[in-house]
Amino acid sequence: MSENIIELRPYGNKALIVTGNASARLCGALEDVKEMLKKLEIEYRVYDKIENNPSLENVSEGGKVAHDFGADLIIGIGGGSPLDAAKAVAVLAVNEIAPLELYNNSFGIKPLPIIAVPTTAGTGSEVTPYSVLTRKDLQTKMSFGNVDTFPKLAFIDPRYTASLARDTTVNTAVDAFSHAVEGYLSRRSMPVSDILAVEAMQIFGKCLKPLLENNIDMDIREKLLYMSMLAGMVIAHTGTTIVHGMGNSLTYFKNVPHGKANGLLMEEYFNFNYENAKDKIDTIIHLVGLTTIREFGEKIRILLHDRIVLTDAEVSLYSSLAMKQRSALNNITNVTEEDLVYILKRACGQNQRADIKPVP
């Protein structure tokens, strides 16, 4: 990072570092950023109270800290939660609005410039405008973002992911893969986004065996971080689909890590969309080095060490909540609430609907 410090100079003189309470310190990224700011004689303060899955209340507090400090630059360090929170803090630092008004996506004063330092290879938040926050009032997560919430710079270094536990590495890798897949199967996909998605999915295929064998060296970590960046570029163009819409409830209510939640839904997502996207789904399965959707599902279950277990009441609630999200409108196949109930039940190994046949 040190050889690139000059690039930071034009963006401000007082930086608020937005991060969680542990990972940025453990991986060394926080100290590297502090050293960089000292060399540039940029005053800084650290706000290290970002929650896992940050809430509106959490970013509101961060915005007040930034405002009171007089920050003119926000630096997010961490996984998706701190990077997403940094975007919200950048808006709230200079706009006297209620946190709920973030979702208007129109701000009287442009957000402070945002610098992103990712320490996981999953969200791609360093190359998207999206800030995904927990809505306690709606019992789910929702995103906001516009052209002004894109980070101005991103410092990407695979060394910062070296301290991640195996499960976190896997879950975030599956999250990045789901971004590429959903963008590829989005109504808003386009030739340019498809090129990026194919490259990202091909990288996941090269990393799948090492991930399964827990043979994750620095070369694999570099590939995963590159994949995450590419997949972030994909969803910056396309948005996500019903995998994220349904997965958000698994995270909110069941505390299932975001990437794992997406991965556990993927096989039935493919089955549901297969009739309308056969060629693309066949391409996805081929790119990851497998031959059938069923084989893909088996590998993912081994990789994630888990299955979904839900009651009928939970299935009904989660399907209802997912239908209220924009991602439901972005799916390549039209979806109803009944469809989402079907997908969730299939993912739980429950009954199947007679009018939709799973693909062999």
Instruction: Please give the span between the terminal C-alpha atoms of the chain, in angstroms, as a whole number.
Output: 48
Contact of 138 with 187, CB cutoff 8 Å: no
Each residue's pLDDT tens digit, 127-174:
999 999 999 988 889 999 999 999 999 999 999 999 999 999 999 999
Q: How far apart are CA 356 and CA 350, in angstroms?
A: 14
Show the tokens assigned to 275.
């009739």
Question: For residue 145, which phi and psi values (nearest 5 degrees)?
Answer: 155, 145
Taking 90 as the threshold, does the pLDDT of residue 352 lie above it?
no
Look at the alpha carbons of 278, 303, 322, 103 in this order and tell me if their dihedral is positive or negative: negative
Contact of 76 with 86, CB cutoff 8 Å: yes
Question: For residue 290, which phi and psi values (nearest 5 degrees)?
Answer: -120, 175
Which pLDDT value is given to residue 308? 87
355 or 173, which is more confident? 173
Q: How far apart are CA 201 and CA 193, in angstroms?
A: 12
Which pLDDT value is given to residue 353? 46
Taking 80 as the threshold, does the pLDDT of residue 32 lie above it?
yes
The label of the residue with tokens 């046949």 reads 357
Mean pLDDT of the region 261-272: 97
- DSSP assignment of 228-262 equals HHHHHHHHHHH---HHHHHHHHHHHHH---HHHHH
Band (pLDDT 50/70/90 cuts) for residue 354 is very low
Residue 31 exposure: Cα atoms within 13 Å on the Cβ side:
7
Each residue's pLDDT tens digit, 67-112:
999 999 999 999 999 999 999 999 999 999 999 999 999 999 999 9
The amino acid at residue 159 is R
Furthest CA-CA distance within the chain = 67
Taking 80 as the threshold, does the pLDDT of residue 6 lie above it?
no
Residues 6+ apart with CB under 8 A from 146: 105, 106, 129
Which pLDDT value is given to residue 359? 53
- DSSP assignment of 6-41 equals GGGGGG-SEEEEE--SSHHHHTSHHHHHHHHHHHTT
Give the chain's mean pLDDT: 94
Contact of 76 with 23, CB cutoff 8 Å: no
Task: Set out the domains of the chain in order of their start, with CATH numbers.
Answer: 2-159 (3.40.50.1970), 165-347 (1.20.1090.10)
Task: Produce one character per residue of 273-289: b if its CB has 16 or more CB atoms within 10 Å, e if not.
Answer: bbeebeebbbbbbebbe
Residues 6+ apart with CB under 8 A from 349: 307
3-class SS of residue 43:
strand
